[in-house]
Amino acid sequence: MHDNKTEVISVEKDVENLSKNDEIEHAAKRIIAGEVVAFPTETVYGLGGNALSDKAIERIYEAKGRPSDNPLIVHIANMEQLSKYVEKIPSPAQKLMEAFWPGPLTIVLEHSGNLSPRVTANLSTVAVRMPDHPIALALIKASDIPLAAPSANTSGKPSPTTADHVYHDLNGRIPLIIDGGPTGVGVESTVVDCSTGEVIILRPGGVTKEQLEEVVGQVSEDPALYEKDLTPKSPGMKYTHYAPSAPLVLVDGGVDFFHRQVEEGVAAGKKVGVMVTEDNRGLFLEAHQEVVCGKRTDLSTVAQRLYESLRAFDKNNVDIIYSEVFPETAIGSAIMNRLRKAAGGQVIKE
């Protein structure tokens, strides 16, 4: 555990030649020394440590309070790094890398055995991605080691999309946060397993099923995405995740049905929070707190604001949160995957 106050350094992501930036070099030295550093990616903020070092990985698990049977995603900056750590790259994986790297796509491959077994949770595979963020890439290049990096939050909480979220969760638990402003996509990367030659989605995310299929044809989904009792193969799929402090309930029905849930909660003496889209703003005046999470007509806005919206309820100590549900196409499937996890599967249907 890190005892002192966490240092926060700001880095402009648009600065020329970030790899020679003093702040990035300072952060890279911390990583080389075996410490952990929070940094922005295009999806959420990650908590990075040396993927070759058991000690660094222990520090990640300890800072997050994360169960250690949960594998971590390894972040790389170039293809040379990849070839050192994976056995082979099947043709579908190669095509996906060419189409979506750098970007919010994580690919699971057979590893070559020289990463820390703590990263892979002793599996024969490793999840790897090349982030599409200048600060993340500069940090990996400057430290010249692959970075294992789960989201930089307390385990189980909504993922962090700003440096403030990281500071709120991990101040005093990690030595350093690089503040590169808010992230872009807002939900984590899509995880696909390519280790068997097929392409199987283990976690929906920033690259949609439809986009994957344009590149490699038929893509299947891991049954563990929808069935509680199966053991998932992907980071972030096993436990209640992304959850605000109050219980979250997904309301699958029309506006009148949603009203009834809110009224029942209020009648039971509860402080009720509602998470709604622009279209339904101001419709639930009896609720204690309303958080608008984006536009139904543009679900990328909901993805971007999802975690920030869930975190907003913690400030008001609501007793229960009711949320709209979304169509499970394109980025909607990633949004609904996160909401189901955050709600522990609690859905009320009309």
- For residue 251, the surrounding DSSP H or E stretch is strand 248-252
| Structural contact between residues 288 and 261, judged by C-beta atoms closer than 8 angstroms | no
One domain, residues 269 and 172: no
Q: Does a structural domain hold residue 283? A: yes
Query: What mean pLDDT is predicted for residues 261-267?
Result: 97
One domain, residues 267 and 344: yes
Q: Does a structural domain hold residue 239? A: no
Share of the chain above pLDDT 70, in %: 95
pLDDT at 236 > cutoff 80 = no
Residue 225 CA: distances (Å) to CA of 176, 204, 231, 241, 336: 34, 9, 10, 13, 11
Rounded mean pLDDT of the chain? Answer: 93
Q: Does a structural domain hold residue 80? A: yes
Q: Does a structural domain hold residue 205? A: no
Share of the chain above pLDDT 90, in %: 84
More confident position, 21 or 86: 86
- For the domain that residue 54 is a member of, what is the CATH number? 3.90.870.10
Q: Does a structural domain hold residue 223? A: no
- Torsion angles phi and psi, residue 54, rounded to 5: -60, -40
One domain, residues 34 and 183: yes
One domain, residues 178 and 252: no
| Structural contact between residues 275 and 293, judged by C-beta atoms closer than 8 angstroms | yes
Q: What is the pLDDT of residues 20-39, one digit of tens each?
A: 789 999 999 999 999 999 99
What is the reported pLDDT for 170? 97
* Structural domains counted in the chain: 2
Q: What is the pLDDT of residues 296-323, one digit of tens each?
A: 999 999 999 999 999 999 999 999 999 9
CA neighbor of 306 nearest in space, from 192, 159, 200, 113:
159
One domain, residues 179 and 299: no
Structure tokens at 141: 């290049």
Q: Does a structural domain hold residue 311? A: yes
Structure tokens at 253: 């029905």
For the packed helices 299-312 and 163-170, what is the interaxial angle rounded to 10 degrees? Answer: 30
| Edge-to-edge strand ranges of the sheet holding 7-10 | 7-10, 176-179, 37-40, 45-50, 147-148, 73-75, 125-129, 105-110, 190-193, 200-203, 220-221
pLDDT at 235 > cutoff 60 = no
Q: How confident is the model at residue 88 (pLDDT cuts 50, 70, 90)?
A: very high
Q: How confident is the model at residue 234 (pLDDT cuts 50, 70, 90)?
A: low
pLDDT at 229 > cutoff 70 = no
pLDDT at 3 > cutoff 90 = no
One domain, residues 158 and 64: yes
Structure tokens at 85: 């750590």
pLDDT at 11 > cutoff 80 = yes
One domain, residues 176 and 37: yes
pLDDT at 255 > cutoff 70 = yes
Task: Write down which residue in 163, 187, 211 finishes a domain.
Answer: 187
Task: Write down which residue in 166, 187, 208 finishes a domain.
Answer: 187
One domain, residues 178 and 326: no
pLDDT at 117 > cutoff 70 = yes
What is the reported pLDDT for 232? 56
Q: Does a structural domain hold residue 235? A: no
One domain, residues 40 and 176: yes
One domain, residues 181 and 270: no
One domain, residues 260 and 158: no
Q: Does a structural domain hold residue 64? A: yes
- For the domain that residue 270 is a member of, what is the CATH number? 3.40.50.11030
Which domain does 280 fall in, by range? 248-349
One domain, residues 18 and 135: yes
| Structural contact between residues 144 and 4, judged by C-beta atoms closer than 8 angstroms | no
Residue 32 CA: distances (Å) to CA of 4, 19, 35, 193, 291: 20, 15, 7, 30, 41
How many CB atoms sit inside 10 A of residue 296's CB? 17
Task: Write down which residue in 187, 205, 220 finishes a domain.
Answer: 187
Cα angle value 132/109/37 (rounded, 5°): 45
Q: How confident is the model at residue 241 (pLDDT cuts 50, 70, 90)?
A: confident
